[in-house]
Amino acid sequence: LPNPLLRKLELFGPLNAGDKKFVDDALARARTVAAHTDLISEGQSPSDVHLVVEGLCCRYKILPSGQRQIFAYLVPGDFCDLNVFILRAMDHNIATLAVSRIVEIPRDTILAMVARPQLARALWWATLVDEATLREWLVNVGQRTAEIRIAHLFCEIHLRLSVVGQADDRSFFFPVTQVELADTVGLSPVHVNRSLQSLRARDLIDFKKGLVELHDLGKLRKLCSFNPNYLHLEGGKLDRGDFGEDRPRS
Amino acid sequence: LPNPLLRKLELFGPLNAGDKKFVDDALARARTVAAHTDLISEGQSPSDVHLVVEGLCCRYKILPSGQRQIFAYLVPGDFCDLNVFILRAMDHNIATLAVSRIVEIPRDTILAMVARPQLARALWWATLVDEATLREWLVNVGQRTAEIRIAHLFCEIHLRLSVVGQADDRSFFFPVTQVELADTVGLSPVHVNRSLQSLRARDLIDFKKGLVELHDLGKLRKLCSFNPNYLHLEGGKLDRGDFGEDRPRS
DNA sequence: CGCCTGCTTGATAGGATTCAATATAAGTGG
DNA sequence: CCACTTATATTGAATCCTATCAAGCAGGCG
C-alpha cells in the first residue's frame, strides 16, 4: 500500500530518495480513530500536525444557530492543521466522517521537512491547492443550482481520490450521509435527496451507502462544466518547482 | 500616511527596524491603476507579486455560463498573488474595483523578505488569515439568509479596513456596486437591493455610492452573530510568533 | 440635452425549505 | 436470534425565500 502523502506530493514534482524516506518515516505510526470523532476543535492549539492516512475527515464549523458548514473533505494524504505553526488557535473543527487512520506528526518533524527545499515547496503547493479548492466551493455554493452543485462535488472528490489511488473510473467510496452532503453544499437534506434522485434518473451517478457509482463520468463533468484546473494536478508536474530562478515566462 | 502592509503585519507580532525598513522600501514605488482593470488573469503567471497599497481590488472567476463569483476583497496591505512562487498559472482573476495604487514587488524582494524569520512568519500569517476569511465566506453563502449575509460582509470589511486605518466606527468607503455585492454573496442584484433597504429600514446601515454608514455597529454585529476570531486580529498579537520552540500549551 | 450606468420597484415564477409522515436500514440488548 | 431503538433515506404538501423579467428613475458625463 503506497504512502498517500508521497503519492500526492510527487504530483507536484520529483522528490529525492532522502525526501521520500523522510515522508515514509513520518507516516510510520498511525492510529485508528472511530467515525464521527473530533480530531481538533475550535479554540484548541494542537502541538502536533494531523494527517489523514486512510479514511475520510472534514473541516467544519457550527454556528450559534446550530447550523453546520463543512469546509473541506480531507482524504488520505491531506494535512489537517499545518497552520498550527502560526495561528494560536483553531477557528474551526476537524472530525472523522468514517473510521480513519491518522498520524500525528510532531512539530519538529514538520520543521525538518520544511528544511528540505523540495519538500517545503511540495507542502506549500498542497496548502495552495487547499485554498483553491475552497474558492471553487464558494463558486459551487454561490452560483450553481442544487443538482450541479452536487455533481461538481462528486467530480472533485472523484479526482482527488483517484490521485491517491482510492477511486477508479467507475466508482469510489465516499462515506458521508445526505445530511453531511447538505451541510457541505448549503442545501437542505431533503433537497439533496431529491437532487441525488434526479442525477440517478439522468443515469449519471448512483449514490447509496457511501458508494458513488459513476454511470457516465464524461456526461457528469459536462453537466457541471467541471474544470479541474483549480486542483493543479496534471498541470502540477509543470508547476513551478523552482524558487528564485528567473527564467522567462510566456 | 503609514504603510498599510506594515500596519497589518505588526498586528501579528513586532518587527525589528530592519524588517520595517525592508517593508517600507518594498512599497516605495506604487503605480496607479484605473478602476475595473484586470491586474492578473486566469492562466497567467506573473513574475512579480502584486500588493494593494490604496484602493480596492477583488479576486474573481467567471463561469462558462457567464456568472461571476467574487472570492475576496483586497484592501490596502493585502497581497494579490503570493502563490506565484509555487503555482504555474493563476486559477482566477484579480481586478481593481476602484482606482487603486498597486506595487509590483519583484520575486527576489519577496524571497529576501522570507529570509527574515519574523517577516516570513508574518507573511505566512497573512495567507492563513486569507484562507480563514474564505472559509467564513463559505459559511456566509452556504448558511445565512440574504440580509444577514450582507450584514456579515459589511462587518468584516469594516474591521479589516479599521486595521489599516481606513474606517472609523461610524462609516467607511467601500466602492462597490450592488451588482458586485450580488456576485460576492451569491444573490441577485435585485435581492441585494431589497436587503440593503431592509437593513436601512432597521436603522443598521446605509449604503450608497460606495459609502457605508454604520448607524448601530453593535446591533449590526449582533444581527449576524459576527465573531471576528477568524481574522486572527486582536488575538493576533498573542498568536504564535515562534517556530520550533516547544513551550507548554493550555 | 441625451445617453449610459447604477439603483429602485412591481409582478410573477421557481427553486429550495420546512413540516410531517413513512420506509428502510442499522445497531443494541435481552 | 429476535424485538426494540435509533439513524438514515424517501415522499408529499404547503410555504417561503430568492430569481427573473420588465419598467421606471436618478445621477454623471460628453
CB B157 within 8 A of CB B55: no
**Average pLDDT score, chain B:** 91
Q: Which residues contact B123 (CB under 8 A, 6 or more apart)?
A: B9, B79, B82, B113, B114
pTM metric for this prediction: 0.91
- Give the per-residue pLDDT at A1: 62
Q: Which residues contact B177 (CB under 8 A, 6 or more apart)?
A: none
- Give the per-residue pLDDT at B234: 67
Q: How far is CA B28 from the centre of its chain?
A: 21
Q: Which residues contact B242 (CB under 8 A, 6 or more apart)?
A: none
Contact list in B for residue A64 (CB cut-off 8 A) is 225
Cross-chain Cβ contact B61/A135 below 8 Å: yes
Q: CA–CA distance from B80 to each of B6, B74, B161 (Å)?
A: 16, 7, 16
Cross-chain Cβ contact B135/A107 below 8 Å: no
CA distance A8 to B170: 49
Output the distance from B169 CA to D22 C1' rounded to whole Å.
40
- Given a cut of 60, whether residue B242 has pLDDT beyond it is no
3-state secondary structure chain B: CCCHHHHHHHHHCCCCHHHHHHHHHHCCCCEEECCCCEEECCCCCCCCEEEEEECCEEEEEECCCCCEEEEEEECCCCECCHHHHCCCCCCCEEEECCCEEEEEECHHHHHHHHCCHHHHHHHHHHHHHHHHHHHHHHHHHHHCCHHHHHHHHHHHHHHHHHHCCCECCCEEECCCCHHHHHHHHCCCHHHHHHHHHHHHHCCCEEEECCEEEECCHHHHHHHCCCCHHHHCCHHHHHCCCCCCCCCCCC
Which residue carries 497581497 as its cell?
A: B79
Output the distance from B191 CA to D24 C1' rounded to whole Å.
18
Output the distance from A149 CA to D24 C1' rounded to whole Å.
36
Picking from A60, A138, A180 by the largest number of B CB atoms within 10 A of its own CB, the best residue to mutate is: A138
Nearest CA in chain B to A182: B142
The C-alpha of B208 sits at a distance from chain A's nearest C-alpha, in angstroms, of: 24
Is any Cβ of chain A less than 8 angstroms from the Cβ of B234? no
Instruction: Report protein residues in contact with nucleic acid strand D, where contact means CB under 7 Å.
Output: A 177-179, 189-190, 193-194, 196-197, 208-209; B 145-147, 186-188, 190-191
Selected residues 146-205 of chain A with any CB under 8 Å from a CB in chain B:
185-186
Give the pLDDT confidence of A121-156 residue by residue, as tens digits: 899 899 999 999 999 999 999 999 999 999 999 999
Q: Which of A128, A141, A232 sits opposite B141 (nearest CB)?
A: A141
Cell numbers linked to B225: 452573530
Segment A58-83 mean pLDDT: 96
- Given a cut of 80, whether residue A27 has pLDDT beyond it is yes
CA distance B120 to B49: 15
Is any Cβ of chain B less than 8 angstroms from the Cβ of A66? no
Higher pLDDT, B181 or A88: B181
Output the distance from A66 CA to C16 C1' rounded to whole Å.
19
Q: Which residues contact B39 (CB under 8 A, 6 or more apart)?
A: B33, B50, B57, B80, B94, B95, B96, B102
Output the distance from B179 CA to D28 C1' rounded to whole Å.
18
- Select from A248, A2, A8, A246 the least CA-distant residue to A122: A8
- Given a cut of 80, whether residue B241 has pLDDT beyond it is no
CA distance A185 to A138: 9
Give the pLDDT confidence of B62-72 residue by residue, as tens digits: 999 999 999 99
Letter string b/e over residues B209-241, b meaning 16 or more CB atoms within 10 A of that residue's CB: eeebebeebeebbebbebeebbbbbeebeebbb
| β strands within A111-192, DSSP E | 171-173
Give the pLDDT confidence of B156-181 residue by residue, as tens digits: 999 999 999 999 999 999 999 999 99
Using only C-alpha atoms, chain A has a radius of gyration, in whole angstroms, of 18
Residue nearest to nucleotide C17 (CA to C1'): A188
Give the pLDDT confidence of B115-145 residue by residue, as tens digits: 898 898 899 899 999 999 999 999 999 999 9
CA distance B143 to B166: 29
Is any Cβ of chain A less than 8 angstroms from the Cβ of B141? yes
- Name the pLDDT band for A85 (thresholds 50, 70, 90): confident
Cross-chain Cβ contact A111/B243 below 8 Å: yes
Share in percent of chain A as helix, strand, coil (round to 5): 45, 20, 35
